Amino acid sequence: MTAALRRADMAGAGGTEWAALAPAPARRKGQTRRRLSALALLLAVGGHAHAATIYLCKAYQGGLFWSSQHCGKHTAFIERMDYVPDNMPFEHQVEIARQQRAEALRRAAPPPDTSGLVVIGKRTPPPQCQSLTERVIQLDAMARQGRSAQGQEAIRIERDRIRRLQFELKC
């Protein structure tokens, strides 16, 4: 007979125990498989994977400190909570929590600013580029004026010629 497990918090002992229950007859097949998979995972870990919570507290005056107790007991705000192994000294737990915090800050940091970087090998445009750009601006202004169809066509042809020349010069 297969028995499902449930976690029962024992109020008197302050610990957590696992209690066996009789299987419920109305369970669906998928639910039973998921629960058995979770049980197998728990048994594979051995049930000894306990983690302690340590807190990075911020005092009302602004100072930061680590504590194994809730920050409210020290009249401070919680800045950060980290989960660390509970089978080691507090100093080692703090070191692990500091590494976790540094990694989180590194991941949350914006990408480096590349706007001030100097590009090596960037060539300067030929000197005639400026005059060609000014001519295109002048032709655009002329095209906005009231001209005949033949005049507009002549402006368009001249502008296309100058733009092709700019492309060839890589302006």
Q: Where are the domains of the chain?
A: 4-45, 51-108, 128-169
Quickly list H helices, 69-148.
90-108, 128-143
Tokens 């445009």 — which residue? 125
Instruction: Please tell me the distance from the alpha carbon of residue 135 to that of residue 143, in angstroms, as a whole number.
Output: 12
Say how many Å lie between the first and final Cα of the chain, rounded.
83
Q: Do residues 53 and 75 make contact, with C-beta atoms less than 8 angstroms apart? A: no
Phi, psi of 48 (to 5 degrees): -105, 10
Instruction: Please tell me the distance from the alpha carbon of residue 33 to that of residue 11, in angstroms, as a whole number.
Output: 31
pLDDT tens for 38-97 read 444 444 444 445 889 999 999 988 899 999 999 999 999 999 999 999 889 999 999 999
pLDDT tens for 103-151 read 998 888 888 777 766 667 667 788 889 999 999 999 999 989 888 999 9
